[in-house]
A and B are shown apart, each in its own frame.
Chain A
Amino acid sequence: MSAHDHHNPSTHHPHVMPLSMYFGVGFGLIILTVLTVWTAKFMPETIEHYTKMKITPTIAIIIAMFIASIKAALVCLFFMHLKYDKPLNRLTFISGLFFLSLFFIFTLADTLTRDTNPTPAVHSYMPEEFKTITGKPPTPYWVPAWVGYDDHGHKIGSHDGHGHDHGDHTGHDHDHGDHAGHDHGDHEGHDHGPKDKK
């Protein structure tokens, strides 16, 4: 194979970085970890002690996530060499974050706008048969976890949580609220699959 003549294996020159960089970044990561633990575990008390301000867990976790992002950036830029790498690889990584954020944004756009008590304005003008389609409770069903347990936390009987009797659906299920104790009317027959009794 004459083609191998120009395949000189030693054409690749690595980009070697100084030792101090590795230890510096490693040290920085440890410090930031300590900082994360402090912000989540001890900072709320400290701040409340001095300023009487309440730091809710939500605020604490946002701060913790911010620090985690800095740590992640350090790992990416230095250990994964993105700082010195081709722009293309940086773009690849960032595009991943972009599409992941779409996943977050649009899923949360649904789950965060759910309302326990929906009364859409159009609802009263609708024909009777459409109300059952749009009037279903959108919040997820909430199981009190103590149901099925006795006072000592042991399971009662053979309760297995499968309260369903939906054996006749294929693929499509809209049964939030079936167990929720709300009565929003039945919604059988709208888009359920073949009726196929087992």
Chain B
Amino acid sequence: MSEAGTNYINHEKGIMSWLTTVDHKRIGLMYLWSAVAALAAGGFFALMIRFQLMSPENDLISKQTYNQAFTLHGVIMVFLFIIPSIPAALGNFVLPIQVGAKDVAFPRMNLASYYIYVVGSIMALAAIALPYFIEGWKPLDAGWTFYAPYSKQTAGPVILMTMAAFVLGFSSIFTGLNFIVTIHKLRVKGMGWYKMPLMLWALYATSILQVLATPVIGITLLLLAMERVLDIGIFDPAKGGDPVLFQHFFWFYSHPAVYIMILPGMGVISELISTFCKKVIFGYNAIANSSIAIAVISFFVWGHHMFLSQQTTFSSMVFSFLTFGVAIPSAIKIFNWVATLYRGSIDLKTPMCYALSFLFLFTIGGLTGLYLGTLSTDIILHDTYFVVAHFHYVMFGGTVIAFFGGLHFWWPKMYGVMYNEFWGRLACGIIFIGFNMTFFSQFFLGSTGMPRRYHSYAGDAHVAETWKSMSGLSTMGAVILGCGIAIMFINLLISLKTGKKAPRNPWGATTLEWETQSPPVHENFEEEPKFTREPYSY
């Protein structure tokens, strides 16, 4: 069907062939680079925040600008980067090939999902930028959570931003829907459910969450917009409404959303660890089922974000108790990965370095989560830097590190070139060091009571020294982290020009995507793929 040398990148040429493509691999790449651009933007705001907080009573940026900076950092990183990063970028590329299909079930919907993502991003960026150009518009400063009733009163373009999130939600739903149907209906003959690569299980669980939870944020944001336009009073205490109800609505989505962010990362790690240990994954069924368990349990626990939001003590206790349930499937995964490492022939290639970083960082992130899930300790730690450190350990140390690992893992498949291993590993090391400097110091800040989202701080006499030194350390770490990420991307980009040609299966992996050429042909496989080998059968 294809002559030698053609692949999905060069079989059609010109910008239009990319913009109108329905090929899941091309859509995946478009998502990838859009998400990376968002990462750069979000990272810029993160550095802005860190430089402001570098020393006590600093006044580098104004208070208003600071409020915007953390709002934008949150919105961009959550909605524009992390949520699409692994499922929509890597998942789109890998999932159909791993099931042995020519494309996702609904290719046009897949493209629509990308364009909706672009439109949503433009709306979000407009909400960010327009206040600087239009007289009378106030900058957005409601945080990424848009808690009522502040989000009703603030003069910023909240409606535009909530509508942007609403639109982005559609993009997320379309991707999830596509993945579920693809996994159910388009698997290659012979691939039973328990013979799927674990990446697919993770993406499947993620997709369930995307489909079930996202509509609720849709209605929440619609109601918030209506609250601003029509003053309907459902969330506004001045009108007899209930702002805590807003938080219930918001977290019904946003708690599962944190699993939308982490589950695909867990899928990537399962692939990496097995591949680079050259060993069958330990406890395949346990890892697969725990993905689904995490997805389901995530709907039971949203109230642990609201312990201090005046939900009743009764429901706080219920939510606190249930929250510990999530720790079980997460721990099952960690134990199985570690058991896979045991006596494996570990090959410290760049993706494996990221996988090991993940194990280390995610465990810290997960365990500190237990402190926050415990009702009594959360009362002390709520809204301090402890929370910030915890979720960065999960989101960055978990998801983003897994994303980087996955990117290095599938890079040869995507572009057909090998990157420089030395610089890859070095970048991984720098990121690891920078990350820990940035965020481990924040555990100390948080446990000594430094509140998050404050523009400047001095601290009482007994904590002033800690706050000063730890904040300085954190800022230094952020700079190192930024450098590490820059080196990583530069290394990848250079490989496009000078990298060696990648073979079909550079890592000796067992899943179907490594049986086609690198980069794959237009419809993924030169001839009908056959499911001959179970995943992880080394």
Contacts and interface: CB of A to CB of B under 8 A. Distances in A.
Interface stretch (A19-27, A44-52, A59-67, A165-173): A165-173
A138 to B, nearest CB: 5
Given A120-B313, A172-B147, A99 B237 contact: no
A107 B248 contact: yes
Given A88-B184, A161-B239, A172-B383, A106 B145 contact: no
B243 A111 contact: no
Chain A contact surface mostly: loop
Residue from B237, B239, B240, B318 with most neighbouring chain A CB atoms (10 Å)? B237
B346 to A, nearest CB: 40
Contact of B143 (A115, A164, A170): A170
B451 interface: yes
B303 interface: yes
B153 A162 contact: yes
Contact of B310 (A109, A136, A169): A136
B311 A110 contact: yes
A95 B149 CA distance: 33
A54 interface: no
Interface string B237-248: 111111111001
Contacts of A150: none
Contacts of A185: none
A143 B239 contact: yes
Interface residues of B, number: 51
Contacts of A28: none
B312 A114 contact: yes
Contact of A196 (B142, B216, B455): B455
Given A140-B241, A170-B67, A193 B315 contact: no
Contacts of A167: 153
B501 interface: no
Given A106-B315, A140-B241, A175 B379 contact: no
B309 A194 contact: no
A193 B141 CA distance: 11
Contact of A141 (B237, B315, B382, B455): B237
A113 B308 CA distance: 16
A191 interface: yes
A196 B154 CA distance: 12
A107 B316 CA distance: 11
A171 B153 contact: no
Interface of A: 3, 88, 95-96, 99, 102-103, 106-107, 109-111, 113-115, 120, 130, 133-134, 136, 138, 140-143, 161-164, 166-167, 169-176, 178-179, 190-191, 193-194, 196
In the A-B complex, the 4 residue pairs with the smallest Cβ-Cβ separation, listed nearest first, are A171-B143, A191-B383, A110-B315, A143-B240
Interface of B: 1, 63-64, 66-67, 141-143, 145-150, 153, 184, 212, 216, 231, 237-245, 248, 252, 299-300, 302-303, 308-315, 318-319, 379, 382-383, 451, 453-455
5 contacts: A106-B248, A110-B311, A164-B149, A176-B242, A194-B67
